[in-house]
Amino acid sequence: MIAVDVPPGLRDLFFPGDLWARLSTLGPLTDRLTADTTIAVTSWSSRPVDAETLASAPRLGLVAHTGATLRPYATDAAWDHGVRFTQAGAAMAHAVAEQALALTLALLHRVHRFDHALRTGVAWEAAKQAPPRRELRDCPVGVIGASRTGRAYVRLVRALGARVSVTDPYLGPEEAAELGVQVVPLDELLAGSRVVALHAPVLPETRGLLGARELSRLQPGAVLVNTARSALVDMPALYQLVRTEHVDAALDVFDEEPLPVDHPLRALPNVLLTPHEAGGTLEARRRAGEIVIAEIARFLGGRALEHEVTPAAMVRMG
């Protein structure tokens, strides 16, 4: 029995008609975990696989998560029970990287400032008085985190001629050479980049990675793009910085979501905001469904899972 614990609207995106038909060939489908459930398909609204869950679904052997991070769902009780976990984070990497590229270009060309000025009634000629605009070609871009999304972003910006530096303790010389990037310390990256893009997971060592001291190293006129996690940044410190218009920023993630309607970030002309939807393209949702189906088929066939997450792997994942 396969329990598809995904809200109907989202389920239709992950598993449109043809994919739902393919999923149904792998076993009987239900929308909740029962005593007969052996496989669970989960989403962001799913509850943790804890002792209580396992008491109601004692035969559970595989959790196939349609998202990326498994931290809210994979518990010690699940590992001890022998439950295996797999996830579809790879499906979203290109979508998030594309949005990060779009935000990068918008910031460099000050599109957000022009839009804000015209929408708030600024006179035509006055609306043109944005800070200097820059091109991505030959632009020094700093990427924090050589994750799947980070690497996809690197490939996109390099294709447009950017010069890329990366900070990531796990990126070795050979991989850096293959990506065409230079590995540098964080402080050097911040001071030397016109664009800083965050693509790191939230780990104990990355939480609050960019505090007031680090943010102060950004050069005047630099732009910051965060489509990863808000916990990587001291958000109050970032607000104090952007309100001076020392830098521009594009944010898809926030400490409080939904972002309150009266949040001061909403009023700033030099900040571009999106509602944590960078990975939500139709293509990415379908790819996630395809990954889940393939992983379930491998599990049922006794084959190795391609996207399995083990307790050891969780150490490096957000």
Each residue's pLDDT tens digit, 200-214: 999 999 999 999 999
pLDDT at residue 34, rounded to an integer = 97
Give me the domain span that covers residue 307: 2-87+281-314
Q: Which residue is catalytic, options 276, 286, 298, 308? A: 276
State how far Cα 312 lies from the chain centre: 21
Judgement on whether residues 26 and 46 belong to the same structural domain of the protein: yes
pLDDT of residue 317: 82
Catalytic pick among 229, 285, 287, 307:
229
Q: State CA 80 to chain mean position distance.
A: 29
User: Are both 142 and 161 inside the same structural domain?
Assistant: yes
For residue 88, give the 3-state DSSP assignment.
Answer: coil
Task: Say whether both 28 and 129 belong to one domain.
Answer: no
- What's the confidence (pLDDT) of residue 315? 82
- Residue 201 near residue 148 (C-beta atoms within 8 A): no
The catalytic residue among 52, 135, 178, 257 is 257
What pLDDT sits at residue 100? Answer: 99
Do 124 and 40 fall within a single domain? no
To the nearest 10°, report the CA torsion of 73, 79, 80, 84.
Answer: 110
CA atoms within 13 Å, Cβ hemisphere of 177: 3
pLDDT at 128 over 90: yes
Can you give the CATH number for the domain in which 81 is found?
3.40.50.720
Cβ-based neighbours of 206, under 8 Å, separated by 6 or more: 145, 200, 232
Whole-model pTM: value is 0.95
Same domain, 99 and 121: yes
Q: Are residues 240 and 102 in the same domain?
A: yes
Instruction: Determine the pLDDT at residue 85.
Output: 99
Beta bridge partners of 249: 224, 271
Catalytic (active site) residue 229: yes
Specify whether 98 is located in the same domain as 170.
Answer: yes
Q: Calculate the CA dihedral of residues 295, 297, 302, 305 and round it to 10 degrees.
A: -10
Q: What are the helix (H) ranges across 25-110?
A: 51-56, 76-81, 93-108
Active site residue 307: no
- Please tell me the distance from the alpha carbon of residue 298 to that of residue 275, in angstroms, as a whole number: 35
Rounded Cα gap, residues 44 and 9, in angstroms:
13
pLDDT at 134: 98
**Mean pLDDT of the region 253-260:** 98
Q: Do residues 122 and 80 share a domain?
A: no
* pLDDT tens-digit map of 13-51: 999 999 999 999 999 999 999 999 999 999 999 999 999
pLDDT for position 314: 85
Instruction: Classify 250 as helix, strand or coil.
Output: strand
Query: Residue 76 CB: number of other CB atoms within 10 A?
Result: 10
Is residue 153 located within the same domain as residue 224?
Answer: yes
Q: Give the pLDDT confidence score for residue 255 in this predicted structure.
A: 99
At residue 316 the predicted structure's pLDDT band, cuts being 50, 70 and 90, is confident
Same domain, 77 and 131: no
Residue 81: pLDDT band (50, 70, 90) is: very high
pLDDT given at position 82: 98
Residues 97 and 81 in one domain: no
pLDDT digits (tens, 9 = 90+) for 290-306: 999 999 999 999 999 99
214 is catalytic: no
Mean pLDDT over 113-142 rounds to 97
Q: Is the pLDDT of residue 318 over 80?
A: no
In this structure, the answer to whether residues 228 and 261 fall within a common structural domain is yes
Indicate the number of domains in the chain: 2
Residues ≥6 apart with Cβ < 8 Å to 75: 48, 49, 50, 51
Please tell me the predicted confidence (pLDDT) of residue 224. Answer: 99
Instruction: Give percent of the chain above pLDDT 90.
Output: 98
